Structure 1
């Protein structure tokens, strides 16, 4: 079904000339737009992400729906007559974000520009005005009212002639839907809400009574007053007492939730008559806001005096775009894509892509796991606005009633026609998140596509220039760079239980969604690729990030073997230890309780044991997070310490014992983690399904888990770990001669630090002094405060401050470097790694002191984490080729922070270890030498 068809079904049947009032709940649109879109600014620097989203949503709505009258209704202020009834009404709601406040007035301007009346009134909520206008409109004569909102508070208005329209699902909300939600008809909704209350709006209701119970009571007794007058008849004691004791609260709650249908009408209904927008007024507004994609739909982009956006290359260039003016094609409207269901059409598209020299591709699959995903179809884009979708497996519903599948090219035949294009070295293939699509295509029928080259990745283009600045998903990049919000996956497949597989999406809807993805990807490439040189990120992208795609694909395919029997033994041991710990916790608490329940633990610590420091959250329960328990443990509260032990062991058991067992591939008994390439703000890789990055390195439990990772027979695992790489980067960046000297001589850096800041004889530095120095060395890199250091070392804050002062007195160059980094972040919004990569620090200019302090710590740490990430990536890019050229059969399996793990034939351990060490230590030239520790063993633990 097309959007237009879906929209028409969502509206009531209205005859030609019949009166139909559409009332749009403006607040719902505003907050949906603000939270869905990344930060955006107008040419004048004003935040406009909510303005853009609101304008886009309302403009799309106006193309889908027609009424004789229409208005957008806004809240005028937070305080209204309900606050006189109950001063705490909505008292818990936070103030709107500061970035949203200046957008409210612009959103009213957008409504006016689109030719729609907006209404609001002091002292009344938008919902009251909607109720009043609906009543007044129907009182004037026959007609229909559609309220565009899914707000539950407006469901009380549903009746013959009045319906709601869910703006997200584009589905009507009538009496049936209201009954499904509340268990009563619309005229009884306020009675149910009065009993159940609403924590969001701080409507008290009756404690202990929810929607379901309230519906049962109202159905039995008819209305609230009857129920309250007969509350003594209720058999359940707690329910009876709650109703008797809170009768007045229930009455107040009803007054709060009841909408005022007699509220004054700030504007006459006649002014709501639908009218087309004035083209000049709308165009002027869109240009002032910089909303290029909406202008493009109007066919106005490129007219007037709007300056061209930099960095958009002419489409005609073959995969080597250079900066230039905006090409007319880049402003082509989105949509009008072709569904390719015949071989002749696919042949034509392949020829066009070959001629263009650049093609954007995207795959549609039945799984997010690239190793298990099966292609349902693929899309191609050869120029902005020129894209197609090739369905392969649509319409197979799996039952007798689903009917025949729609016409489409047989998958193997489509792949055969596509293969020459993908293997043509003169045609650049552009993907968004290429690692996923390449893996999917490699596993296609007939041996898949083993060689797809050359490749560009818009996700990594963005990440190379803007790590930490924003997300790098296609939708976010499209809004940010193209001012275009693509169709959401949920819009075509549905959500929750109603979600359907993509292969069951009708081909016209699938084409609109999938071809648009390829179109957006190509446009992003045209905009982002030329900026690499301007941003100083060309070498980073070409030499590191783009090459990492193939390296990580090989590592993910290789996986690492897991000994299931050893994992089971570890699980049994952890279970036994958890039982012992639980018994100890119960003993210390003085009674048994659910150790995994934060609520019960909080009651024991702060109500029963009367410990200080208890803080209750919004739910009324005490906070017992790690920070709270660590603070109590530092004060000598053994119960808190043992609960922390229990939590850590329970997490390891569920995440790495049970979780790993579930991830073992039945075919090869190996786990195949997936590496995220653009998920961190520092350039580091992340790991999921399973996450192998967070196994504790130095704890006994972490080493036990590492014993379950083993080599295949005839092989060993070789682990190569950069030694103190972040401290070496600190010594490289800061002017600290003694640190550089220590690294050059191969001295123990922590012992050297201990001797210098504690004024000890180097020969007399004991384990405790070295431990403290190590904590300080690494804490400084992470911007640790005196309070944080004191907590980590278990000493008074004043002593922590004295240690930090002594540290900076000994190494003044480090303080100078830290201040330089904070100033760089404040001035430019980013810091750079030693190799030039920009790492953006978004909160550095915020007015919130807590967030700003966190941003300053991030600015200090980012160059060291980011530099270390870039060094190990350089090694990862060089090592596979170096191993091949040396005739060695080692496979690189894992990357965990500063460590690489290889599976090596037993006969090749010595030459492989030597080559790995040599490559890793030579990938960067610093003022101090890089050092790599190499170990080996039949398990990961032995190799560490």
Structure 2
């Protein structure tokens, strides 16, 4: 019997945009942007490698969009009208991506007037009619209409999809889970819900859930629309009747064209050996030398007979990068991830063998598996180690389920494992490599293991690429993002092992073979990322910020998290009760003013009350059709004399403070320590500032009476006090130094009120009003504020605001020069830099999109100042405890870092001795690396609560 034919159709357009956003900007030796080209090439190479290792295709083609206009624009002129123009640096890469496809000797198919989806649909149906199986490599929801199986003269033939980002096959079950209907009805659901991306209208007010329910109940779009007349009076009935025409038009727009004239026969898509010459010429032309070496090694084509290992898209070899990025070093080739090589360590003998190997290697990647995300409450379930690519193991410690009668697999007893691992993990001669190691450090510290020395791939990535990464976990520096971006590999998803929702299981209940594949892969990937990223620090100027600021900070922040801070539960409970009464009172007043009861927390209901019932002017509807009721709208209405607006603002603040703090803090008290342990993200803000979560302790209002009441609930242990040390106006001081502004430097040196000095310089007098305006201007200018932004803050006309900006620059010309020079530098190099060498990247600084460009410009103006401020307080944190210990003050504990402030707990008798040391460490934190021309002022207070310490 002939071999079953299997056609793979690659949605090339989705690959292009994923590749563009996945990698930093790169240029080839001719200066042409090639970042997306390189990413696309490696993604196509990896796809071929993965398919060749599995039951791969017999035929393959890449399908592309020929342009942005198709026959659907003749049916509906606004089709895809909302889509922005492609980024300026991506446009010249489109033809090169076509060249890349042809360099692999793969068919690259596009037809003007047709979308790639239509070509894919037609090829898929033609192949299915011939009895071929078809896999569409995409995650596009429109293409899910094609999924299914038919009987042909040559046997059953199925069409499925492959989402390479999630490494997931999409079949009938996945479609039904997503849409609630079978594939043949997906188009009906899409017609009802519409598509904002493609500007398919759908029916206004009907979302995915309602659309799925209607089609599932009635069986088709036509039946659902016909049934509307018989429905009970409701908004839904009105929308279905009024929007029928839009839904029917949308059904035509989302219908895939399955009868296109095809430019290339199916048989010409057969895969075979790839001639190496065209591929080599392409790689050489664009400077992709690491891929060229792989090709020379015999692993260079998507052939059924070729053994491919995925290349590493972390570097374009010697391809020239954007100005200022630094020269990438040639990186070692690595084999693809192979789960079958991992070992499950179930005996002490094997564990000791791995420990001995790790000590001999003097470097080991480490990861822990636990029962929870909270490091202070999680149980240790297992540990994984890696000594090289595919050289990894998993040591299960608490597997076997939660049932005491459940059969437990053979595993090393926890105490014996800890005793074996502790000498290795504390050995000063062995580097321990982590990804987000702060979590692992805290888990292991609770078992008496103080890990050192360490490297952290997440923090290394942040030191190199802050601002470059995609949105997501860890700000683009989480393991999944780094693995996909740099290794071209998608790790096993956690939910694939443990599930989600009510059916979720703990990691200890996962069978050992699957647990080993997942856990050992994490350590393996961490080792690979370290091998790829660590050499870049020296090559790209990241060593200074990583080694002197970020790396030594990791154990310091971990220790702060373990310390936690005590809160007064009774005080919080009392505040919650008081807030509840006040919230109820405000709600009653709001209902009285509105003339009816409604849900105050519902933006839709509030908008209808404000603009439809009460008739206030200025209401604007968003894309969802409801009025905007955000804080700027309410503040504007309040200023115009609408009493309900101020009442709602007060209600919102109290409701948020109650849910976020007075209620949540009680729930966050650790039952074992009696303290609240926040978690700090080392990569949470691209300028380098730490961010606090679970709970967030950085957004408690500072100057309001309510905020002070919440801070009163943060208290020391009996016999102790809290001490707060706060940098005074550090960003203005740094601006005075970095912009070289004599008047501001003189004022700081003399200890003057800087806002009063600015008021005198700008307005010729110091009054309460001019000082307040000067204070607003001082900070706003450093954030690149526009005339309209400043006008809004000061409640003046834009022309008056512009006149103030002009006056400010006349009085302090150094500030204007700093802004100009900073923007010119960032536009040229792509990044800003702090005084300590921290880079923050701004990939959209030269965007043609005005909003993107101006947003990047505002952030770029402030980033060197805010980033330098972050660097300074981090340096102070690293030096603080050693300085206190040297003075015999080991019982002074550092608990919190909130913006420019450090909070300590100590015996009351230690305050007098600790205060000058804390002040000196903070004031001298920039030295010896940077000598500032202004002093760093530090304000210190202490008391029986956090609020009293101010």
**TM-score of the aligned structures, taking structure 2 as reference length:** 0.85
> 2:314·2:487 contact (CA, 8 Å) conserved in 1?
no
> Counterparts of 2:331 and 2:195 in 1: how far apart (Å)?
53
- Counterpart among 658, 661, 665 of residue 660 in structure 1: 665
Aligned to 1:417: 420
> 1:156·1:187 contact (CA, 8 Å) conserved in 2?
yes
Return closer, same or farther for 1:860/1:398 CA change in 2, 3 Å cut-off. Answer: same
Deviation readout 1:589-632 (Å, 9 max, x if unpaired): 45443322222333344444554443322111222222333344
Q: Does 1:493 align with 2:490?
A: no
> Counterparts of 2:267 and 2:586 in 1: how far apart (Å)?
73
> Counterparts of 1:227 and 1:914 in 2: how far apart (Å)?
75
- Counterpart among 936, 946, 949 of residue 940 in structure 1: 946
> Could you tell me how far 1:41 is from its partner in structure 2?
3.0
> Could you tell me how far 1:474 is from its partner in structure 2?
3.8
> 1:311·1:528 contact (CA, 8 Å) conserved in 2?
no
> Counterparts of 1:204 and 1:432 in 2: how far apart (Å)?
44
The alignment partner of 1:843 has SS state of coil
The alignment partner of 1:668 has SS state of coil
Return closer, same or farther for 1:398/1:637 CA change in 2, 3 Å cut-off. Answer: same
Aligned to 1:47: 35
Aligned to 1:907: 909
> Could you tell me how far 1:50 is from its partner in structure 2?
4.6
The alignment partner of 1:842 has SS state of coil
Return closer, same or farther for 1:758/1:357 CA change in 2, 3 Å cut-off. Answer: same
Deviates more, 1:592-601 or 1:169-178: 169-178
> 1:556·1:672 contact (CA, 8 Å) conserved in 2?
yes
> Could you tell me how far 1:454 is from its partner in structure 2?
2.1
> 1:394·1:406 contact (CA, 8 Å) conserved in 2?
yes
> 1:150·1:165 contact (CA, 8 Å) conserved in 2?
no
> Could you tell me how far 1:458 is from its partner in structure 2?
2.8
> Could you tell me how far 1:508 is from its partner in structure 2?
4.5
- Counterpart among 563, 566, 580 of residue 558 in structure 1: 563
> Could you tell me how far 1:154 is from its partner in structure 2?
4.0
> Counterparts of 1:635 and 1:382 in 2: how far apart (Å)?
67
Q: Does 1:671 align with 2:676?
A: yes
- Counterpart among 95, 111, 118 of residue 128 in structure 1: 118
Deviates more, 1:598-607 or 1:489-498: 489-498
Deviates more, 1:121-130 or 1:684-693: 121-130
> Counterparts of 2:185 and 2:331 in 1: how far apart (Å)?
59
> Counterparts of 2:510 and 2:102 in 1: how far apart (Å)?
37
> Could you tell me how far 1:331 is from its partner in structure 2?
4.0
Return closer, same or farther for 1:373/1:98 CA change in 2, 3 Å cut-off. Answer: farther
**TM-score of the aligned structures, taking structure 1 as reference length:** 0.86
Return closer, same or farther for 1:378/1:145 CA change in 2, 3 Å cut-off. Answer: same
Aligned residues: 905
> Counterparts of 1:716 and 1:774 in 2: how far apart (Å)?
33
Structure 2: state its 5+ residue gaps.
Answer: 151-155, 301-310, 318-326, 470-475
> Could you tell me how far 1:455 is from its partner in structure 2?
2.0
Return closer, same or farther for 1:719/1:397 CA change in 2, 3 Å cut-off. Answer: closer
Q: Please tell me the root mean square deviation across aligned C-alpha atoms, in Å.
A: 3.9
- Counterpart among 412, 432, 436 of residue 433 in structure 1: 436
Aligned to 1:459: 458
> Counterparts of 1:244 and 1:730 in 2: how far apart (Å)?
61
- Counterpart among 252, 259, 263 of residue 262 in structure 1: 259
> 2:328·2:539 contact (CA, 8 Å) conserved in 1?
no
Aligned to 2:160: 165
> Could you tell me how far 1:683 is from its partner in structure 2?
1.9
> Counterparts of 2:225 and 2:20 in 1: how far apart (Å)?
42
Aligned to 2:822: 821
> Counterparts of 2:214 and 2:334 in 1: how far apart (Å)?
59
Q: Does 1:686 align with 2:691?
A: yes
Deviation readout 1:492-549 (Å, 9 max, x if unpaired): 5376447654445554554444334334433443454455455555444333322212
The alignment partner of 2:947 has SS state of helix
> Could you tell me how far 1:708 is from its partner in structure 2?
0.8
Q: Does 1:753 align with 2:758?
A: yes
Within a 5 Å distance, the mapping from 1:437-836 to structure 2 comes to 437-444=440-447, 448-450=448-450, 452-470=451-469, 471-478=476-483, 482-490=486-494, 492-493=496-497, 496-497=500-501, 501-533=506-538, 535-760=540-765, 765-836=766-837
Return closer, same or farther for 1:811/1:182 CA change in 2, 3 Å cut-off. Answer: closer
Aligned to 1:921: 923
Return closer, same or farther for 1:395/1:201 CA change in 2, 3 Å cut-off. Answer: farther
Q: Does 1:354 align with 2:344?
A: no
> Could you tell me how far 1:439 is from its partner in structure 2?
1.3
> Counterparts of 1:54 and 1:900 in 2: how far apart (Å)?
49
Within a 5 Å distance, the mapping from 1:244-263 to structure 2 comes to 248-263=245-260
> Counterparts of 1:485 and 1:395 in 2: how far apart (Å)?
30
Aligned to 2:274: 277
> Counterparts of 2:934 and 2:187 in 1: how far apart (Å)?
72
Within a 5 Å distance, the mapping from 1:12-27 to structure 2 comes to 17-27=3-13
> Could you tell me how far 1:755 is from its partner in structure 2?
2.3
